Structure 1
Amino acid sequence: MESGTPGGSGPAEPGPRLRGLGGALQAQAQAEGGCCAPAVAAVLPAGGSGERMGVPTPKQFCPILERPLISYTLQALERVRWIKDIVVAVTGGNMEAMKGIIQRYQHKRISLVEAGVTRHRSIFNGLKALAESQPNSRLSRPEVVIIHDAVRPFVEEDVLLKVVTAAKEHGAAGAIRPLVSTVISPSSDGCLDHSLDRTKHRASEMPQAFLFDVIYEAYQQCSDYDLEFGTECLQLALKYCHVKAKLVEGSPDLWKVTYKRDLYAAESIIKERISQQMCVVMDTKEDEEHVGRCLEEMLKNELNHVKVMSGRDLQQVILEQCYNFVCVNVMTSDFEKTQKLLNVLDESNLSILYPVVVISVHFLDNKSIPFGRKMEDLMQIKELAREVKKRNILLCGLLIYYPQDEQKLQESLRQGATIIATLIKERDSGLIGQLLIA
């Protein structure tokens, strides 16, 4: 068994964080007369070949925004602090690749085991790693174990808490969702035999959770047929341990990346999540009136769905998991302010998990600087953008014409705000180093 636990502080994560849920298990344990919350571990089978996706790379390793899908799932579990260990079952051929993912994206509490030839065999290998003491292993037998798919990256802490709490009470629990399509049974000649009442049935989803002794005993008793062809863990607990699982209503984002089109859907969701806020950094004093302030106000007015923050305290903004920055250069025609911002971002390790978008905004006033000279100064953005792309920072330039006519200025600022919003939402690497004009 291999383990990966790189040190150092991990990068920030986007989206809302559910706070206090870790204490919910603790509170429940105390209410029941116990002194501590149950030890919880997770097992992720990740040995699939991605045959249904029709791509040569197993789907769990397919890139989304240049980062493997499984890394997003690990991140979702890692940020749940009460999950003590995460065991990932991967094939021998992908073991080194998985170690590289753990190291590159600074994943923690991860241990690797060799996957089996089927899903159930992979899960069984993960359970055995938790149950059996191994030399140099930091794993310990948990009270409750979560089983989750490596290709379900959007699981939230509240769902994990619900299934773990239910499993502690009932022995087993699993997330379910309403059926989208009616299930029918064909006859041997290919005709309709009968259909099921969709309102009386549910789709079994992940995560699922079990008292460890229940599910481990079930797997130890499994027939070869179950291990070879079975897919439902809850059924094993029922069949071999007579434990009826508590069914927990899951959220719509528990869907599984199965087909190639699902990769695009997952990418769209991730882009949406990390585009909810932007930070505006300026090279002038806070109370100083200038065209840059007008742009900031335009961004706030035009982008109702985006939180626009001031970059007075960049470290705090980074801690708030902002992945979008607009650097407004008013006093200078070069990239001095933008370069300082890039240096801060580089030191923060913010771009390890997600690409950070930086838009360097410049204003053109023909009365002060000739157009040709201004453009010549700004063309260095291409070289600068190529350099920071190595650190997963997407740099673009925006030049806003600064006419004296108030109406035209407002139109330019509004167009600039639209361009900024599009660059942030699309995160198109093909626009890196481009100088756009509003």
Structure 2
Amino acid sequence: MINFNVGVILPSAGCGERFGVSLPKQYYEVLGKPLFLYALEEFRRFQWIKRIVLVVDNPEHVQGLLEESHANREKVCVIKGDSTRHRSIRAGVQELQKNGCDLKVVIVHDAVRPLVPFKLIEDLVIAAEEHGAAGAIRPLVSTVLRANPDGFLDYSLDRSKHVSSETPQFLFCVFLTMHCSDEELDTGTECLQLALSHTGVRAKLIEGTHDLWKVTHKKDIYAAVGCLREKTNQVCIMASEENETVKLLMEILESKVSLVQCVVTSTDTRLSCKETFNTVVFFHLHEIDQDNQLLDFAAMLDVDHQGLIIHVIEHTSVDGMQSMSVYDLHRSGRNMAKHHEKLQKGVVIIHCLTPGEDRRLAELVVSLILSDASTFSGQTLFI
């Protein structure tokens, strides 16, 4: 159990030369918001974290981004970084010292590592208090070679005896008293080595999960999009009965989203689950049922993460649609999107005209859920 105060430093002042675009990677938008916000939001969820210092290249710009995104800035302080990683971290430490929160452990985590595993964070904080320092590691993927000055092989490391250092890294008090040389501040990249060199504290190393990777190159953005969409997608399916399409949806989504739940409206007169959802799929017969518990559901919507409201209308007969043009149907969908604007969700309406297309319908709904929700504004689809 963690019953002491913890602080966080999120270095985010680099220019991201390897990223390959002029925009620094921490500001690159992923699923509608800057990359650095994901790590920031995750650390805000821990009650025992009392202060988060975001170290950036342009504090005014970042403050503006925080305001635009309506991010909760409680516990968050934005300061200007320095010329190197270690100098920026030192600036973060100095800011934490000013605050007087009586911090026992300081977390250093790259702001461009968007996934923050809850259990690993707890384990590392506890280990840092016990041992003085702790850090996450991963097995090496490739063998590390050393080249001589002429560009020829000098020697290779035994991959089984070495690991890759990741963040987060945790340091118990000792980090606050370190006095590093200019060379260490200018060229160093490893905080745990500083703890060992200056205090003799050997960090406890704990193997991290596969999602600790860092966005370094532009191709990493595609992995970030997939992983974040899977992590943040929480889907509720509302239908009058658990039909074949609903069963297929549940089966397919189980491995593709963090949570999927079905509410059978004929038996569940009120929503009673404690979860929040960013996406909801309504199944209707003939037309959209305006009494479909949307008001009940709205209180459970997670507006911090992108998502969709998908209305699936199953037409047992197309006779009632013959008098409606595609234009009228599309206009109806756009009006529905405007009606749901306050929920900050995209809206898609699917008219299912062909019986026996359960799998195609389920796969269509899944593809919508896994796509960029910000592009949808009342689109009308037919199957």
TM-score by length of 1: 0.77
Whole-angstrom distance in 2 between the partners of 1:304 and 1:366: 32
- Report what 2:283 is aligned to: 328
1:139-150 correspondence runs (5 A): 139-150=100-111
- Report what 1:399 is aligned to: 351
Whole-angstrom distance in 1 between the partners of 2:325 and 2:252: 28
Structure 2 residue 365 is the aligned partner of structure 1 residue 413: no
Question: What is the SS of the residue equivalent to 2:360?
Answer: helix
Residue in structure 2 matching 1:341, options 294, 300, 315: 294
- Report what 2:66 is aligned to: 101
Question: What is the SS of the residue equivalent to 1:111?
Answer: strand
Query: What does the per-residue CA deviation read over 1:161-214, in whole Å, with 9 as the maximum and x for residues that have no partner?
Result: 2222222122111111111111101111111111111111111111111122x1
In 2 relative to 1, CA 417–204 (structure 1 residues): closer, same or farther, beyond 3 Å? same
Letter in 2 for 1:199: S
1:249-398 correspondence runs (5 A): 249-275=207-233, 277-282=234-239, 293=243, 295-300=245-250, 305=255, 307-310=260-263, 312=268, 316=272, 319-330=274-285, 332=287, 336=290, 341=294, 345=298, 350-351=302-303, 353-366=304-317, 368-373=319-324, 375=326, 377-380=328-331, 381-385=333-337, 388=340, 392-398=344-350
Preserved contact between residue 306 and residue 374 of structure 2 (Cα < 8 Å): no
CA shift, 1:125, in A, is 0.9
- Quote the sequence identity (%): 35
In 2 relative to 1, CA 131–297 (structure 1 residues): closer, same or farther, beyond 3 Å? closer
Residue in structure 1 matching 2:33, options 63, 67, 76: 67
Structure 2 residue 162 is the aligned partner of structure 1 residue 201: yes
CA shift, 1:321, in A, is 2.5
Letter in 1 for 2:177: E
- Report what 1:427 is aligned to: 372
Between Structure 1 and Structure 2, how many residues are aligned? 375
- Report what 2:177 is aligned to: 217
Whole-angstrom distance in 2 between the partners of 1:429 and 1:391: 13
In 2 relative to 1, CA 89–349 (structure 1 residues): closer, same or farther, beyond 3 Å? farther
Residue in structure 2 matching 1:46, options 8, 12, 17: 12
Preserved contact between residue 146 and residue 153 of structure 2 (Cα < 8 Å): yes
Question: What is the SS of the residue equivalent to 1:379?
Answer: helix
Preserved contact between residue 182 and residue 198 of structure 1 (Cα < 8 Å): yes
In 2 relative to 1, CA 386–191 (structure 1 residues): closer, same or farther, beyond 3 Å? farther
Question: What is the SS of the residue equivalent to 1:373?
Answer: coil
In 2 relative to 1, CA 303–183 (structure 1 residues): closer, same or farther, beyond 3 Å? closer
CA shift, 1:42, in A, is 1.0
Preserved contact between residue 394 and residue 427 of structure 1 (Cα < 8 Å): no
Residue in structure 1 matching 2:188, options 230, 252, 258: 230
Whole-angstrom distance in 1 between the partners of 2:199 and 2:238: 60
Whole-angstrom distance in 2 between the partners of 1:365 and 1:349: 30
CA shift, 1:228, in A, is 1.2
Moved more, 322-331 or 191-200: 322-331
Structure 2 residue 84 is the aligned partner of structure 1 residue 118: yes
Question: What is the SS of the residue equivalent to 1:262?
Answer: helix
Residue in structure 1 matching 2:132, options 140, 163, 171: 171
Whole-angstrom distance in 2 between the partners of 1:61 and 1:101: 11
CA shift, 1:143, in A, is 1.4
Preserved contact between residue 46 and residue 89 of structure 1 (Cα < 8 Å): yes
CA shift, 1:110, in A, is 0.9
Question: What is the SS of the residue equivalent to 2:116?
Answer: coil
Preserved contact between residue 171 and residue 211 of structure 1 (Cα < 8 Å): yes
Letter in 2 for 1:240: H
CA shift, 1:371, in A, is 2.3
Q: Where is the helix percentage greater, Structure 1 or Structure 2?
A: 1
CA shift, 1:98, in A, is 3.3
In 2 relative to 1, CA 274–240 (structure 1 residues): closer, same or farther, beyond 3 Å? closer
Letter in 1 for 2:324: R
Query: What does the per-residue CA deviation read over 1:33-85, in whole Å, with 9 as the maximum and x for residues that have no partner?
Result: xxxx2221111111111211012222111111011111110122112222121
Question: What is the SS of the residue equivalent to 1:188?
Answer: coil
Compute the RMSD of aligned alpha carbons.
2.8
Letter in 2 for 1:193: D
Q: Which stretches in structure 2 are left out of the alignment for 5+ residues?
A: none
Whole-angstrom distance in 2 between the partners of 1:388 and 1:379: 15
Whole-angstrom distance in 2 between the partners of 1:41 and 1:309: 39
- Report what 1:32 is aligned to: none
Preserved contact between residue 318 and residue 353 of structure 2 (Cα < 8 Å): no
Preserved contact between residue 327 and residue 337 of structure 1 (Cα < 8 Å): no
In 2 relative to 1, CA 308–390 (structure 1 residues): closer, same or farther, beyond 3 Å? closer
Preserved contact between residue 401 and residue 412 of structure 1 (Cα < 8 Å): no
Whole-angstrom distance in 2 between the partners of 1:101 and 1:315: 33
1:238-253 correspondence runs (5 A): 238-253=196-211
Letter in 1 for 2:24: P
TM-score by length of 2: 0.87
In 2 relative to 1, CA 416–316 (structure 1 residues): closer, same or farther, beyond 3 Å? same
Moved more, 322-331 or 62-71: 322-331
- Report what 1:162 is aligned to: 123
Whole-angstrom distance in 2 between the partners of 1:423 and 1:342: 23
Preserved contact between residue 50 and residue 101 of structure 2 (Cα < 8 Å): no
Structure 2 residue 148 is the aligned partner of structure 1 residue 184: no
Question: What is the SS of the residue equivalent to 1:210?
Answer: strand
CA shift, 1:337, in A, is 5.2
Whole-angstrom distance in 2 between the partners of 1:51 and 1:388: 41
- Report what 1:28 is aligned to: none
In 2 relative to 1, CA 94–315 (structure 1 residues): closer, same or farther, beyond 3 Å? farther
- Report what 1:9 is aligned to: none
Preserved contact between residue 64 and residue 263 of structure 1 (Cα < 8 Å): yes
